[in-house]
Amino acid sequence: MAFRTLDDMEVAGKAVLTRVDLNVPVKDGRVSDTTRIERVAPTIRELSDKGAKVVLLAHFGRPKGKVVPEMSLRQIVPAVAEVLGRDVAFADSNYGQAVADMPDSSVILFENVRFNPGEEQNDPGFAERLASVGDLYCNDAFSAAHRAHATTEGLAHHLPAFAGRAMQAELEALEKALGTPTPPVAAVVGGAKVSTKLDLLGNLVSKVQHLIIGGGMANTFLAAQGFDVAKSLCEHDLADTAREIVAKAEAAGCTILLPRDVVVAETFEADPPTRTVKVEDVPEGWMILDAGPDSVAHIRTVLDGCATLVWNGPLGAFEMTPFDRATVEAARHAAELTRAGKLVSVAGGGDTVAALNQAGVADDFTYISTAGGAFLEWMEGKKLPGVAALEG
């Protein structure tokens, strides 16, 4: 995957239209989590330090092409300025004049691009009007790269385009994980339903040597193999699909790991009475809520023999104790191998990030992607419009 980066561009004195993800949570008029701002801050600072006029483009919420005052990006300006440690101007009109008046090295944030219907329609006219106020286009919003919108894809057709540092780090990590990984490769795929991850599973069986399936998804695969999963969350109508995926994996030389033992309870709540049983012994009326210790030991052994790991989704109902145990123990083992230099570990997806934070190991993985849909579509083997626009 060849793409241009900040290292390839001369930015001094240039107006750089910089697409960032500032879709941050706001409570009582204040930003309550600055993680996304912190992710793009290095790119903004570097552009500014190199003498560029930094023009930030971002969306906030889903205004659907209309001006919605409570979704204005004006309320984000103080948080962006605080994280950057420098002044940030704001413009909601007269963009050409606003950029013309900018001194080199300054930063300005334009109003929510989704206030214009041309953004989500990827209207060439809207992209062209925006491009007319800039000299270069920088995309630092991987989380929006799966959408072919005016500011994520359209601008690249009008201006010289390159990846910002956060986008660059994401693409390099993903290339290591599934593009040209060092084998053997293991993938952990968890979550509630097989139906939401059919494309993902179908792509992974031809890319990895070991596919570890957890969460409610595993119940569907167990049921497809004839196990009685009792009251567990299960998509019985996808049994044939599950068997097809297993057959495809066997043909590709990919080993599928399903739970050998499970933690069950009669009720879906925190800290109920539980039992740990073999998958063939799930009691009638009970439900599977986590993988058991034998299953975790098996996962640990597999990871010991791998060089690369890609992880999306928890192994159990990790939101509630004690059903977070398998996810936490497997994640800690992966982190230990990563710290020892034995494993390249890349993880992504909302539930996954939350689970790894809960395990206290998010900082120990090689890379954690905060992108939800874009990370999933990339794992599914789909071409991301915002990434394709940077190639060349």
Give the residue carrying structure tokens 């240039």.
14
172 is in an annotated binding site: no
Q: Find the range with the poorest average confidence among 30-34, 240-244, 347-351.
A: 347-351
Q: Which of 140, 167, 194 is the last residue of a domain?
A: 167
Q: Is residue 35, in this structure, part of any structural domain at all?
A: yes
Q: Supply the DSSP string of 212-242, one letter for each residue.
A: EE-HHHHHHHHHHTT---TTS---GGGHHHH
381 catalytically annotated: no
The residue annotated as part of the active site, out of 51, 65, 372, 373, is 373
Percent of the chain with pLDDT over 70: 99
116 is in an annotated binding site: no
pTM of the complete model: 0.85
Check whether residue 139 and residue 193 sit in a common domain: no
Check whether residue 153 and residue 213 sit in a common domain: no
Q: Supply the DSSP string of 5-59, one letter for each residue.
A: BGGG---TT-EEEEE------EETTEES--HHHHHHHHHHHHHHHTT-EEEEE--
21 is in an annotated binding site: yes
Exposure letters 203-225 (e unless 16+ CB within 10 A, then b)? bbbebbbbbbbbbbbbbbbbbbe
Check whether residue 93 and residue 188 sit in a common domain: no
The residue annotated as part of the active site, out of 65, 202, 350, 381, is 350
193 catalytically annotated: yes
Check whether residue 196 and residue 153 sit in a common domain: no
Q: Is residue 386, in this structure, part of any structural domain at all?
A: no
Q: Is residue 173, in this structure, part of any structural domain at all?
A: no
Q: Which of 117, 143, 167 is the last residue of a domain?
A: 167
**Residue length, the chain?**
392
- Give the CATH number for residue 35: 3.40.50.1260
Contacts of 143 (CB under 8 A, 6+ apart): 21, 36, 370, 371, 372, 373, 374
The residue annotated as part of the active site, out of 74, 193, 275, 382, is 193
Mean pLDDT of the chain: 94
Q: Is residue 197, in this structure, part of any structural domain at all?
A: yes
Check whether residue 245 and residue 134 sit in a common domain: no
Check whether residue 163 and residue 186 sit in a common domain: no
36 catalytically annotated: yes
The answer on pLDDT for 392 being more than 70 is no
Q: Which domain holds residue 266?
A: 181-379
Q: Is residue 391, in this structure, part of any structural domain at all?
A: no
Q: Is residue 1, in this structure, part of any structural domain at all?
A: no
Check whether residue 191 and residue 116 sit in a common domain: no
Q: How confident is the model at residue 1 (pLDDT cuts 50, 70, 90)?
A: low
The answer on pLDDT for 286 being more than 80 is yes
Q: Is residue 385, in this structure, part of any structural domain at all?
A: no
Check whether residue 190 and residue 140 sit in a common domain: no
61 is in an annotated binding site: yes
62 is in an annotated binding site: yes
Q: How confident is the model at residue 352 (pLDDT cuts 50, 70, 90)?
A: confident
351 is in an annotated binding site: yes
Q: Is residue 392, in this structure, part of any structural domain at all?
A: no
The residue annotated as part of the active site, out of 14, 19, 36, 53, is 36
CA dist 77 and 108 (Å) reads 9
Q: Which of 167, 202, 219 is the last residue of a domain?
A: 167
Give the residue carrying structure tokens 């069986």.
205
Q: At what angle do helices 239-252 and 215-224 cross, to 10 degrees?
A: 90
Check whether residue 242 and residue 296 sit in a common domain: yes
Most confident option among 112-121, 348-357, 371-380: 112-121
> Is residue 278 classed as helix, strand or coil in its secondary structure?
strand
Check whether residue 196 and residue 344 sit in a common domain: yes
Domains held by the chain: number: 2
360 catalytically annotated: no
260 is in an annotated binding site: no
Check whether residue 118 and residue 44 sit in a common domain: yes
Check whether residue 20 and residue 139 sit in a common domain: yes
319 is in an annotated binding site: yes
pLDDT of residue 85: 97
